[in-house]
Amino acid sequence: MGVLQSNDPLIIERGLNGSQAHELYRDLRRDGKVFAGLQKRKLAVVSRPWTVEPVSDDAAGNADAAVVSDILKGFAFDQLCNDLMDALLVGWQPAEIIWTLAPVAGARERVVPRRVVKRAHRRFVYLQEAGQPAALRLLTREHMQQGIALPERKFIVHRVNAEDDNPYGTGLGLQLYWPVYFKRKGVLAWTKFLDRFGLPIPWGKYPTSATPREKGTLFDALRAVSNDGMIMTPEGTMIELLESKLSGSGTPHQAHVEFMDDWIMEVILGQSPRGGSGGALAAAANERQDVRLELSQADSDLLSETLNATLVKWICELNGLAPCTVYRKVEAEEDTKATSESDLNVTQMGFQMTEEAVRAKYGEGWEKSANPPSAGANPANSFHTNLTIPASGSSNFAEAPHAHASTDQVALDDALDKMLADDALQQQMEQVLAPVFEQLQKENDPQAMLGWLAERFPDLPEDALQERLSQVLFAAAVWGRLHGKA
């Protein structure tokens, strides 16, 4: 069959072969949006930790997996992953393994990669014989068409979107070429527009009877004012520019460039970077995050398949190790604030987390406090827990009993009892809090009580109303203790 050609339609239109696709698509990375989008795709994978696991989960397999992990840590493995993911743009990416022998204490030397080098696409072609799979070959001065055969276990090739089993794959360059092309044309037109209308253009007028010498003098004067452009016309000449009257902010050039930028980012990240406003904007942001996680996990899985079928497999075969696999797990970062709020809600239901569970969820460095916070510290919770509302028709309030009150709490209670023992103060408090007690008997919800206070004090802001509710609850608790003893 001979040398295989790429089935990329854009490469075919340009009359290029598969190895020359890199020259066409590499130029796209000069665009800032393309480069930024590809960096996000690649670094989202490379930044995740990787793990080596044995195919057979036994003691020998786990020991060999630890050896393979140490070998991968011995060279720039993350850099290799970053280089191989250049296949996202071109469709395929070759890399050469430089093997070496590493001494091991108490054992024979191990065959390990000293480094893995990314190689240029133009140096390789794929050759396929009848009934045989396509083979990568290296072009030399003597063999510029079909190249020479390569040693086994020497080259890694990562490819994406290999249509019809074409070894060159199909990268995102096919979809990115035209938006980048149109964007560059738009930026060029925008630049010309700014150059023409951004600065004043000198306009010289000469009389119809002016001699060539006088015209030359005027021209020299105009050139001294501006080297970028000038206008010379006879007096009475009219120059007009016909342009469309557009309304709204921005310019057509800006809208054109922004549209192409959105097109580029949607191709690379799978979602348009622009959304609506308010709730639609938040929903779009969440959707973009989900799509990016899915893309990152897919990129990681495809890269792991390539590495497990080549580099990791060869390391195990050359060193007599049990088969192992390497992979990266891409997960969204856990929202510790939401998790802690959920744990607090479960704790208030009567459950208690073990110290092991706390360390597993929030990391090391945690231990149980000797003085845990009081359960009634929240004013909203104290609405039900700190007050015992008597039966209908009674205005007596008493504090709920504290079975485990601390010494400081008991001293504070005694001080309050002595301070509030005066009968005159009690009568004043009864008059002030009487309407509050009446409303408390009707309402058993802090939010409803807050609404009642809003009606009573319409000029107070919401923060002040919440503070007033806390003060009312505290005063009711103190007065209830006093009234219960009276």
pLDDT band at 389 (very low <50, low <70, confident <90, very high): very low
Strands 324-328 vs 50-54: parallel, antiparallel or unpaired? antiparallel
- DSSP letter at 77 equals H
Tokens of 80: 């290799």
Given this model, what pLDDT does residue 331 score?
Answer: 81
Tokens of 1: 């069959």
**Range scoring the smallest mean pLDDT among 13-17, 185-189, 376-380:** 376-380
**Residues with Cβ within 8 Å of residue 313, at least 6 apart in sequence:** 323
pLDDT band at 469 (very low <50, low <70, confident <90, very high): low
The residue type found at 205 is K
Q: Is 18 exposed, middle or buried (0-12, 13-18, 19+ CB in 10 A)?
A: buried
* 385, 386, 392, 394: CA torsion to nearest 10: 170
Given this model, what pLDDT does residue 388 score?
Answer: 43
Can you say how many angstroms the Cα of residue 422 is from the centroid of all Cα atoms in its chain?
64
Q: What pLDDT digit, counting tens, does each position of 235-260 carry? A: 877 777 656 565 556 688 899 999 99
Q: What pLDDT digit, counting tens, does each position of 48-70 carry? A: 999 999 998 899 999 999 999 99
Q: What pLDDT digit, counting tens, does each position of 163-203 carry? A: 888 899 999 999 999 999 999 999 999 988 887 777 777 88
Where would I find the H helices in 128-235? 173-197, 212-225
Q: What pLDDT digit, counting tens, does each position of 283-323 carry? A: 666 677 778 889 999 999 999 999 999 999 999 999 999 99
Question: Given the structure tokens 């007690």, which residue do they identify?
Answer: 437
Across 296-320, b (16+ Cβ under 10 Å) vs e yields: bbebbebbbebbbebbbebbbeebe
CA distances from residue 445 to 389, 450, 452 in whole angstroms, order as listed: 13, 9, 11
Q: How many residues does this entry show for the chain? A: 486
The pTM for the full model equals 0.65
Instruction: Determine what percent of the chain is predicted with pLDDT higher than 90.
Output: 38
Contact yes or no for 97/154 (Cβ under 8 A) = yes
pLDDT at 387 over 60: no
Residues paired with residue 156 on neighbouring β-strands, in sequence order: 95
* 125, 129, 134, 140: CA torsion to nearest 10: -20
**Residues with Cβ within 8 Å of residue 186, at least 6 apart in sequence:** 253, 256, 257, 260
Contact yes or no for 35/29 (Cβ under 8 A) = yes
- DSSP letter at 152 equals T
Contact yes or no for 208/234 (Cβ under 8 A) = yes
What are the extents of the domains in the chain? 2-173+297-328, 335-367, 379-485
Tokens of 346: 């479960």
Q: What are phi and psi of 131, to 5 degrees?
A: 75, 5
Give dist(CA 167, CA 153) in Å, integer.
Answer: 18
- Mean pLDDT of the residues in the chain: 79
Name the more confident of 229 and 424. 229
pLDDT at 398 over 50: no
pLDDT at 357 over 50: yes
Output the DSSP codes for 154-165.
-EEEEE---GGG
320: left (phi over 0), alpha (psi -120 to 50) or beta: left
Which of 312, 62, 274, 302 lies closest to 161, judged by CA? 302
Give dist(CA 34, CA 85) in Å, integer.
Answer: 14
Q: What pLDDT digit, counting tens, does each position of 135-165 carry? A: 999 999 999 888 999 999 999 999 999 888 8
Tokens of 74: 């011995």
3-state helix, strand, coil in the chain (%, to 5): 55, 15, 35
Give dist(CA 389, CA 381) in Å, integer.
Answer: 14
112: left (phi over 0), alpha (psi -120 to 50) or beta: beta
Given this model, what pLDDT does residue 57 score?
Answer: 87
